[in-house]
């Protein structure tokens, strides 16, 4: 038997030295390590939360015998390593187990809530970018070289003020004014597209402040660079100059920051989801913690953790495409 050879074989060393391959392998390893850590840490840590799931399910008026029966039914009377191997065995077949509290399939429960959280986080991050990038760049241009100091002060004051308002206060204010007061938007639930407006607003205001300030600062730094001065000297049009020379240099930091914000918003919108009765994963995990519903807590943390890691990888890939120097930097 002969093995046919490619007419243009890729030298082994060349493939091994490819920065893109190395980049991909590094990210894949990161994902795998994250998965193993998430599975192990959540499994070990969650039972340390005070409170027995069986007692939580049975309620305070249940008998000791009933609590013991439920504990056996949930498998909590098994040694921890047996429970762990059961859990990992399930994960290998994509089975996240069944909820202690409801007996429902955990994957189905997470899938029911994930679109709500994803919708909210994506809307919030997209609108954050749409608002904060132009605003940050505009303020940087208008105040560049010490011009319009008043605008600089107003911008700093407003972003600082909004940033310092805790999210639950912001959410409560929005509900009070726009839902209960003017009755423009629904106060709670996720029944119509309009229901998305207030939670999105509450979720995006803080990131807008952060991202717009970062964009403003990055733009100012770029505007001071020699190549921009040269570009100006060549009388390149403003749109071309900003689109070709300023934006790509600002976008690196912005995307990195936005990726982190999006990842944190997936699981971190607990307060917003509570105030607006938004049936997302944040609300779900709070309920699961209160009920000591271990499979739901573990499954949700695992899914959120993997999604957060994936988002960061996607951002890395985008950055690598926009600015291939990041791949080279990794390689070096």
Partner 1 sequence: MTNKVRALGVAAAVTVGLSACTTGGAGGTGTIQTAINAAPTTFSPWTAETRDDYDVSRLLFDTLVRRGADNKIVPALATSWESTPTEASFTIRDGATCADGTPITAEVVQNSLHAMATAEGSVFRKIVFGPGRPTISADNAAKTVTVELAQPWQDLVQGMSLVATGIVCPAGLENPEGLRRGSVKGAFSGPYVLSASSHGVSYTFALRKGFTGWPDYGDTASRGKPAQTVQVDVMPNGSSRANALLTGGMDIGTISTQDMTRFDGDEGYTAQRLPSSSLFVLFNEREGTVFADEEVRRAVVQTLSRKSFNSAATAGLGDLATTFSHDAVPCASTDSSVLIEQDVEAAKPVLRGKTIRILGLEVIGPQGAGNTYIAEALRAAGATVEIDNVDVATWSTTGTGEPDAWDLTVFAGINAGGTMYGALSPVVGPPTEAGGANWSGTEHKDVLAMVDEAMREPDDRTRCGIYQRVQETLIEGAHVMPLSYLPAQLTTRSGFSVQVHNDQVDVATMQIDGEG
The first and second tokens of residue 119, run together, are: 């919708």
Distance in Å, CB of 131 to partner 1, minimum:
18
Nearer of residues 35 and 178 to partner 1, judged by Cβ:
178
Q: 3-state DSSP call for residue 330?
A: helix
Is there binding between residue 305 and partner 1 (CB under 8 A)?
no
Pick from 61, 81, 146, 149: which binds partner 1 (CB under 8 A)?
A: 61
Question: Does 76 contact partner 1 by CB under 8 A?
Answer: no
**Contacting residue, 70, 206, 214, 246, with partner 1 by CB under 8 A:** 70
Radius of gyration of the chain (CA): 25
Question: What is the distance of C-alpha 215 from the center of its chain?
Answer: 20
Q: Does 89 bind partner 1 (CB under 8 A)?
A: no
299 binds partner 1 (CB under 8 A): no
Nearer to partner 1, 166 or 248 (CB): 166
- Residue ranges in 2-79 assigned as alpha helix (H): 12-16, 19-45, 53-58, 64-74
Asked if residue 173 binds partner 1 (CB under 8 A), the reply is no
Question: Residues 27, 32, 33, CA angle at the centre, nearest 5°?
Answer: 95
**Nearest Cα to Cα of residue 74 among 294, 320, 326:** 294
Is residue 53 part of the contact set for partner 1 (CB under 8 A)?
A: yes
Give the separation between CA 101 and CA 43, rounded to whole angstroms.
Answer: 18
- Name residue 98's beta-bridge partners: 105
- Contact pattern from residue 106 through residue 125 relative to partner 1, giving x for each residue in contact according to CB under 8 A and a dash for the rest: --xx--xx--x---------
Task: Read off the tokens for 157.
Answer: 């004051």
| 57, burial (CB in 10 Å: exposed 0-12, middle 13-18, buried 19+) | buried
Q: How far is the CB of 190 from partner 1 (least distance, A)?
A: 8
Stretch that binds partner 1, among 104-112, 130-138, 204-212, 313-321 (CB under 8 A): 104-112
User: How far is residue 184's CA from residue 108's CA, in Å, rounded to a whole number?
Assistant: 33
The number of residues that bind partner 1 (CB under 8 A) is 57
Q: 184-203: which residues touch partner 1 (CB under 8 A)?
A: 184-192, 194
Is there a contact between 54 and 76 (Cβ–Cβ < 8 Å)? yes
Report, in Å, the least distance between residue 293 CB and partner 1. 10
Q: Which stretch binds partner 1 (CB under 8 A): 142-150, 183-191, 209-217, 244-252?
A: 183-191
Which of 38, 39, 46, 58 is in the footprint of partner 1 by CB under 8 A? 58
With binding defined as CB under 8 A, does residue 75 bind partner 1?
A: no
Stretch that binds partner 1, among 39-47, 129-137, 172-180, 254-262 (CB under 8 A): 172-180
Strands (E), the chain: none
Backbone CA torsion sign across 142, 145, 147, 149: positive
Helices (H), 242-293: 247-268, 270-275, 281-291
Among 26, 43, 56, 217, binds partner 1 (CB under 8 A): 56
Exposure pattern of 250-266 as b/e (b: 16+ CB <10 Å)? Answer: bbbbbbbbbbebbbebb
In the complex with partner 1, which residue's Cβ is closer, 103 or 233? 103
Q: Kindly write out the interface string for residues 214-253 of this chain, putting x where it contacts partner 1 by CB under 8 A and - elsewhere.
A: ----------------------------------------
The answer to whether 148 contacts partner 1 (rule: CB under 8 A) is: no
Cβ–Cβ under 8 Å, residues 272 and 202: yes
What are the angstrom distances between the C-alpha of 254 and each of 92, 138, 214, 247? 37, 15, 7, 10
Residues in contact with partner 1 by the rule CB under 8 A: 50-53, 55-70, 73, 101-104, 108-109, 112-113, 116, 175, 179-180, 182-192, 194, 274-277, 279, 283-284, 286-287, 290-292
């Amino acid at each position: 038997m002969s093995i046919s050879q490619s007419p243009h074989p890729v030298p082994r060393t060349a493939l091994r030295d490819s920065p893109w391959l190395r980049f991909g392998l590094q990210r894949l390893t990161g994902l795998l390590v994250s998965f193993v850590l998430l599975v192990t840490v959540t499994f070990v840590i969650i039972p340390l939360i005070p409170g027995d799931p069986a007692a939580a399910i049975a309620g305070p008026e249940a008998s000791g015998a009933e609590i013991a029966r439920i504990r056996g039914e949930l498998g909590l009377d098994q040694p921890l390593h047996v429970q762990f191997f059961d859990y990992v065995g399930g994960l290998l077949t994509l089975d996240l187990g069944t909820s202690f509290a409801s007996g429902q399939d955990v994957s189905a429960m997470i899938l029911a809530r994930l679109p709500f959280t994803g919708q909210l986080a994506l809307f919030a991050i997209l609108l954050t970018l749409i608002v904060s990038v132009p605003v940050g760049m505009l303020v940087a241009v208008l105040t560049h070289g010490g011009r319009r100091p008043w605008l600089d002060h107003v911008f700093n004051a407003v972003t600082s003020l909004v940033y310092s308002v805790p999210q639950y206060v912001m959410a409560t204010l929005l509900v009070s004014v726009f839902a209960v007061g003017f009755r423009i938007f629904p106060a709670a639930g996720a029944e119509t597209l309009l229901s998305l407006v207030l939670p999105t607003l509450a979720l995006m205001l803080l990131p807008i402040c952060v991202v717009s300030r970062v964009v403003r600062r990055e733009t100012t730094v770029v505007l001071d660079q020699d190549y921009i001065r040269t570009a100006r000297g060549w009388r390149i049009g403003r749109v071309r100059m900003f689109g070709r020379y300023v934006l790509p240099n600002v976008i690196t930091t912005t995307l990195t920051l936005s990726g982190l914000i999006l990842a944190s918003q997936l699981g971190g919108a607990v307060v917003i989801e509570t105030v607006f009765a938004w049936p997302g994963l944040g609300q779900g995990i709070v309920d699961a913690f209160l009920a000591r519903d271990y499979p739901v807590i573990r499954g949700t943390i695992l899914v959120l953790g993997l999604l957060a890691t994936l988002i960061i990888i996607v951002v890395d890939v985008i950055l690598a495409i926009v600015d291939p120097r990041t791949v080279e930097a990794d390689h070096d």
